[in-house]
Structure 1
């Protein structure tokens, strides 16, 4: 993905740093459309669930304890991966589809997940995740910076010129 979701997005796109989609690979197990894998066979009370939004192939783990391991579906805090304001939810640096993220997070809150552990910052309480999910509902794919929208999906062509 190359939808940079923060104020520094246009700077990132002009920087010359890699902004192209990752090379595809063939997964061992393919989850899609809300599919789950029961983890009890591995001694874990919980399921791995397809949770698209950060990327089309994102997966989260929902544990019987009420903990959800959501990777980059959501982030928290600021400064070096969430050292400050750890209890405040925010969009991760890259996000393919904010409306899908909203739906996935709301689904987990409604299913009874209480604590959300992410790749950057956290953990977050369900109440804060719900607040964040509601804030994403009206966002569209891409994020508007000034008068130009930055494309998000890996299926989209590479930006021909940097965002100004």
Structure 2
């Protein structure tokens, strides 16, 4: 089950892409509950951080330069970074928990991140990310396309059969 966030979310689901099964795997490193990995050992000034909300396994990178790489935690522009409103933050086509996304984004803004680079659109300034995070915080259960805040099981994986 995926928790759609926009009118075009159901179209995305009908494409079949989100329902494609995937093979289970065992991660080399498991990040959860605010855990971080120091990236200096790899020559990068920054940390990788567990940032659930879009999915339970979402990860972001916070760099010493003030840049944050946030994947699909946030998007911008019409049609996922497309033609217009590229400087306007928006929700991705689906997300597990908008309240968690809000908390993660606010935490990065408060930690001093200045530019947010995402999988679709951007980059966005911290001021715009803060505005978006506050709007997510104010979502009310039961609103159209806000239903995902009411017991949605978005993170349940659909596993494929192992390859033999």
TM-score category by the smaller chain? 0.7 to 0.9
The 1:14–1:119 alpha-carbon spacing in structure 2 relative to 1, beyond 3 Å, is closer
Structure 2: gaps of 5 or more residues: none
Deviations 1:26-63 (A, max 9, x none): 21110000000000000000000000000001000000
Distance, in Å, in 1 between the alignment partners of 2:19 and 2:26 is: 22
Distance in 1 (CA, whole Å) between partners of 2:143 and 2:161 is: 16
Task: Report the aligned-residue RMSD.
Answer: 5.8
In 2, are the aligned partners of 1:102 and 1:136 still within 8 Å (CA)?
A: yes
Give the distance between the partners of 1:125 and 1:163, measured in 2 at CA: 44
The answer for unaligned runs of 5 or more in structure 1 is none
Structure number having the greater helix percentage: 2
Structure 2: distance between partners of 1:162 and 1:7: 35
The number of aligned residues is 164
* Structure with the bigger percentage of strand: 1
**In 1, Cα distance between the equivalents of 2:151 and 2:26?**
25
SS at match of 1:6: coil
The 1:48–1:84 alpha-carbon spacing in structure 2 relative to 1, beyond 3 Å, is: same
Q: Which residue of 1 aligns with 2:9?
A: 9
